[in-house]
Amino acid sequence: MTMTAELKQALDEMKSVWTQFQEVDKRHDEEIKKFGAATQETKEQLDNINTKLDEIEKKGQEIEKKLARSRVFGGGEAKEQENEFHAEYKNALFGGLKNLGLGNDLTPDQKKYLIDRSLWTPELKALATDNDTQAGYLVTPEYIREIIKGVVEFSPLRNLARVRQTTSKSVQIPVRTGTHSAQWTSERGTRTETTGTKYGLEDIPTHEMYADIRISRQSLEDAVFDLESEIKMEMQEQFGVAEGTAFITGSGIGQPEGVLTNTSIGEIVSGNASDITADSLISLYFELKDAYARNASWLMKRSTLKKVRQFKDSQGNYLWQPGIAGAATPATILDRPYEECVDMPAVAANAYPVVFGDFRRGYTIIDRIQITIQRLNELHAASGQIGFLGWKRVGGQVVLAEAIKKLKVAV
């Protein structure tokens, strides 16, 4: 089989395998949409097809290189040209050796091949990009001024909670802690004072977080990217990550108080020592007072949502309902919207993987100072560096515990 035929065969095989890849990849996406993740069988099939595609591509590249080297002998079928050359060279060489002592008996072509050694390996005369000194230095890759970045995940509580701006170090909010009750009486009955109304004070301090990044002056001067803008963007992202984590699991000491940290928030157990159950989600829903439940949202990790999507109620209806009526009707669980939260714990024994509540009434975030970044030109000048100091002051804590409930994985 000629090299051209081999290349055609490789291309045909590539098309066939690519068709398989498209089919399996489509099934892979459908499984993720339906179940939250692809099956192990589909993943393995996709990996095997990718490996096969790599092998075919490598094989095709090798054939193309051979064809490119052979084409220096002229047009037409490269392999046939190569064979013709070697046959001619072989006859000349053998003829020359036979008549080695009788040089005058050599034909002009025989003398040409025996004397001019450069014709013995004519492919070395062609410029090739796989050799730097021949032509490789002249072929440069395209450089795209764009940085490929992985997604940075944030906890969404800032979008759900009440957010206030302040110019003070902390915020104090009066809280009603007790109420009086009305009493029945007769027309001329004695009326005594009704008591029980009490108030407290919720104090929400603001906390500071910072980032100190240093970079060499020459890097700022010579980089093809605007590294100063990149540094500022990185700071903004990481501040968002840090505060999002604190809003969920923060200790409340030197940082915001997390929803899962507050001990006043009520909880129910899942009824299973190592997993959540459909019944426990229904119980959690009805554990919340009706006034809060009407405006409540679910908060859970993506891996937990995968489990929830498979739950059904006693009538066989899925608890999870996809949002198919447009943006105005989001996907829901028991008719209430949910948010994927990267900082929520995964399902495990004694963990709290699900929270349900009216976060706008139950949790308050206080912004004191938005992200501020200061460029330090002189501080690190002796070491040829420039510093970027960024900071933000923010507070957050549970202000109405009864508006939020959490689910514990336990019996």
CB distance 332 to 323 below 8 Å: yes
Contact between 206 and 366 under an 8 Å Cβ cutoff? The reply is yes
The amino acid sitting at 108 is P
Tokens encoding 230 = 């990149």
- DSSP bridge pairs for 376: 387
> Is this model's pTM higher than 0.75 or not?
no
- pLDDT score at 22: 76
Residue ranges per structural domain of the chain: 3-138, 155-184+195-318+331-411
Q: Which residue has the tokens 């906390």?
A: 207
Mapped to the 3 state alphabet, what secondary structure does the chain carry?
CCHHHHHHHHHHHHHHHHHHHHHHHHHHHHHHHHHCCCCHHHHHHHHHHHHHHHHHHHHHHHHHHHHHHHHHHCCCCHHHHHHHHHHHHHHHHHHHHHCCCCHHHCCHHHHHHHHCHHHCCHHHHCCCCCCCCCCHHHCCCCCCCCCCCCCCCCCCHHHHCEEEECCCCEEEEEEEEECCCCCCCCCCCCCCCCCCCEEEEEEEECEEEEEEEEEEHHHHHHCCCCHHHHHHHHHHHHHHHHHHHHHHHCECCCCCECCCCCCCCEEEECCCCCCCCHHHHHHHHHHCCHHHHCCCEEEECHHHHHHHCCCECCCCCECEECCCCCCCCCCEECCEEEEECCCCCCCCCCCCCEEEECHHHHEEEEEEEEEEEEEECCCCHHHCEEEEEEEEEEEEEECCHHHEEEEECCC
- What pLDDT, on a 0 to 100 scale, did the predictor assign at position 123? 47
What is the reported pLDDT for 326? 45
Residue 238 neighbours by CB distance under 10 Å: 15
Say how far residue 96 (Cα) sits from the centre of its chain. 69
Mean pLDDT by groups of 10 residues along the chain of 411 residues? 66 74 81 81 83 72 63 49 49 47 53 50 57 71 72 87 95 91 91 90 95 94 89 92 96 96 96 94 95 96 91 78 56 89 96 98 96 93 94 96 97 94
pLDDT digits (tens, 9 = 90+) for 287-298: 999 999 999 999
Question: pLDDT value at position 111?
Answer: 53
HSE-up of 345 (CA within 13 Å, CB side)?
Answer: 18
CA distance 172 to 203: 4
**1-30 as b/e, with b when 16 or more CB fall inside 10 Å?**
eebeebbeebeebbeebeeebeebbebbee
Residue 155: which of 33, 49, 245 has the closest Cα? Answer: 245
Distance of alpha carbon 132 from alpha carbon 122, whole angstroms: 19
**pLDDT of res. 51:** 79
Over residues 298-319, the pLDDT tens digits come to 999 999 999 998 887 778 777 7
Structure tokens at 402: 């009864």
DSSP bridge partners of 297: 357
Residue 383: the pLDDT is: 94
Domain formed by 155-184+195-318+331-411, architecture: 2-Layer Sandwich (3.30)
- Separation between Cα atoms, residue 158 and residue 360, nearest integer Å: 9
Task: At 369, list the tokens.
Answer: 């100072």
Structure tokens, 47 = 């990996």
